[in-house]
Amino acid sequence: MIHLSGKPAIQSGKGWILAALMCTMMLAAMDTTIVSTAIPSIVADLGGFSLFSWVYSVYLLAQTVTIPLYGKLADVYGRKPVLLWGTFVFLVGSVASGASWNMMSLIAFRGLQGLGAGSILATVNTIAGDIYTVQERAKIQGWLSSVWGIAAIAGPAIGGLFAQYGIWRWIFYINVPIGITALILLIVFFNEHVESREHYINGRGIAIMTLSGVSVIFTLMQTGQIWAVASYQTLIMVMISVGLIIITVRTEQRSPEPILPGWIWKNRVLLGANLAIVCMGAMMLGPNMYLPVYAQSVMGQGALAAGFILASMSIGWPVASSYSGRLYLRIGFRSTALIGASIVFAASVGFVLIPFNSPVYWVVLDQVMLGVGFGLLSTPTIVGVQSVVAWQQRGVVTGVHIFSRYIGQSIGAAVLGGIFNISLQQELHRAPRTLQSQLPTNLNSVLDVMQHPGTSNAIHEYLQHTFYGATQTVYIAMACIGILVILFLLLQPAGGWTANEEM
């Protein structure tokens, strides 16, 4: 089999390439958020309400498990064909999703979208690392980060507009012009110089690794959400996942060219950065899952205002990401990432200290601060890991790094979800006897009771305090995870991760 290696050609249209990368990133980012506000219209048309959570889950599952594979293929065949193929698959999945005739078909086509999104997430950052110098990458990461900020605000708004005033199917069809524009720009402006040599692709290893990834992520997504943490379902799935991981490791060790080479886990810089980004991914899920509910149930804000409060994190992230280049060129990648991790820790603690009847701007400022910390943490880590390897290894290194972040998000959803539910349940059990008979016994009905017009003021106020306490517990857990991030970064060699050399 043919292997392609080398370096990209000198690019004469970097601006157009960046525009193409941002367009493809917008596809993956937007489809994470745009579906949320259109779900009622989709369910009304297609039915299958009990299955609608899989419209999200299958997309994230397919996207996450394929990221390392696409990262390896980008080193084998070059970045351009892998990204073109992934974008094409994504567009096919988008058109098919828009034409879905029932919920099962929509879920299947969303999975196809996810297969394409995995390629986008694995290769966009790799291409940015190829064509831009280490001095330029912070600014470029800022631009790419801004795409996620725009998607966080525009996605739900566009989805709501199509659902309310148009046809929900256009939330998928809108991807087509964006994707075609990206394909044209990549074909015209992005060029690679490649060399050919014999290469081995382990099909069995790919299949086992994919199955292992599906098992692990499915377990994390279901635990604490669909079934309890301490349940026989969790035990069975953990046993299956561990068994598949062991088989995967042994298969990879025997492979002449593994998808996930062993040297990635032996390199202290890469290991520390990937473990830190796993923890960062877990921390990101705290605000994403519970801040909108907190804003509406505790602070009395509407759904739109709650969305903007959550999106305020996107203000600090791209700005800090762009500025991080000045820092890591002066003090190194690890030190810059440590500053970011410290700010994230401080923001997590800061939320815990916010009083019950606090003004909205306190929460917004805390979110902005959290975004600054994530920007100063995420950009130095991804630029740093790309800078310590050669072109032939950059794709797999970037893929593993992005994969680590999404694994962290799956872990965060399970762990923080379990912590929130346990805390909420404990607060309900501690209620005064005069209120216990009126309080909901099922956690799923807490919000319904709060929003019911017949709920007494005493019950409503008590439930507000339960949400306040449970959300604070989530942020306390985030602060503890933030300490782990700092420890993982400190485990790296102090002088082995600087921005003095470009590979």
Lowest mean pLDDT of 95-99, 192-196, 300-304, name the range: 192-196
Q: Could you give the CA distance from residue 224 to residue 89 in angstroms, rounded to a whole number?
A: 32
Average pLDDT over residues 338-356: 93
Residue located via tokens 């929900």: 168
pLDDT score recorded for residue 370: 93
pLDDT score recorded for residue 443: 59
Distance linking the first and last C-alpha atoms of the chain:
27
Q: How far is CA 493 from the centre of its chain?
A: 27
pLDDT above 50 (res 132): yes
Which pLDDT tens digit goes with each residue over 411-437? Answer: 887 788 778 878 877 877 776 766 666
State which amino acid sits at residue 114: G
- The helix (H) or strand (E) run that includes residue 63 is helix 53-77
Higher pLDDT, 177 or 11: 177
pLDDT score recorded for residue 199: 57
User: How many C-beta neighbours within 10 Å does residue 429 have?
Assistant: 9
- The helix (H) or strand (E) run that includes residue 5 is strand 2-8
State which amino acid sits at residue 385: V
User: Mean of the per-residue pLDDT values for the chain?
Assistant: 81
Q: Report residue 131's pLDDT band, with 50, 70 and 90 as the boundaries.
A: confident
Cβ pair 140, 128 in contact under 8 A = yes
Q: Could you give the CA distance from residue 106 to residue 355 in angstroms, rounded to a whole number?
A: 43
**Structure-block tokens of residue 335:** 């030190």
Q: Could you give the CA distance from residue 372 to residue 380 in angstroms, rounded to a whole number?
A: 13
Burial code (b: 16+ CB inside 10 Å, e: under 16) for 132-163 equals bebeebbbbbbbbbbbbbbbbbbbbebbbebb
Instruction: For the chain, give the percent of residues with pLDDT over 90.
Output: 20
pLDDT score recorded for residue 433: 67
Higher pLDDT, 24 or 409: 24
pLDDT above 70 (res 107): yes
Helices (H) and strands (E) in the chain, counts: 20, 2
Q: Could you give the CA distance from residue 217 to residue 200 in angstroms, rounded to a whole number?
A: 28
310 to 193, 231, 320, 425: CA distances (angstroms): 43, 33, 17, 25
pLDDT score recorded for residue 454: 64
Which pLDDT tens digit goes with each residue over 457-468? Answer: 777 777 788 888
Ranked by mean pLDDT, the top range of 26-40, 265-279, 434-448 is 265-279
pLDDT score recorded for residue 83: 93
What is the maximal distance between C-alpha atoms in the chain?
77
pLDDT score recorded for residue 10: 46
State which amino acid sits at residue 196: S
Higher pLDDT, 456 or 274: 274
Residue located via tokens 């990368």: 21
Angular region, 358: left φ>0, alpha ψ -120 to 50, beta rest: beta
pLDDT score recorded for residue 479: 95
Long-range CB pairs of 51-55 (<8 Å, 24+ gap) are 51/103, 51/104, 51/107, 52/103, 54/107, 54/110, 55/103, 55/106, 55/107, 55/110
93 to 47, 149, 179, 310, 402: CA distances (angstroms): 20, 24, 12, 29, 22
- E strand spans, 85-176: none
Cβ pair 187, 42 in contact under 8 A = no
Q: Could you give the CA distance from residue 303 to residue 156 in angstroms, rounded to a whole number?
A: 11
Average pLDDT over residues 98-113: 90
Average pLDDT over residues 219-224: 72
pLDDT score recorded for residue 3: 35
The string of DSSP letters for 376-419 reads HHHHHHHHHHHHTS-HHHHHHHHHHHHHHHHHHHHHHHHHHHHH
pLDDT above 90 (res 343): yes
Lowest mean pLDDT of 105-114, 171-180, 381-390, name the range: 381-390
pLDDT score recorded for residue 430: 74
- E strand spans, 199-283: none
Burial code (b: 16+ CB inside 10 Å, e: under 16) for 391-401 equals bebbbbbbbbb
Global pTM? 0.80
Length of the chain: 503
pLDDT score recorded for residue 95: 94
Lowest mean pLDDT of 53-57, 379-383, 492-496, name the range: 492-496
pLDDT above 80 (res 138): no
pLDDT score recorded for residue 195: 63
Average pLDDT over residues 285-297: 80
With 0-12 / 13-18 / 19 or more C-beta atoms within 10 angstroms meaning exposed / middle / buried, residue 106 is: buried
Q: Could you give the CA distance from residue 397 to residue 186 in angstroms, rounded to a whole number?
A: 22
pLDDT score recorded for residue 342: 95
Average pLDDT over residues 396-403: 85
Lowest mean pLDDT of 123-137, 179-193, 220-234, 300-314, name the range: 220-234
pLDDT score recorded for residue 501: 44
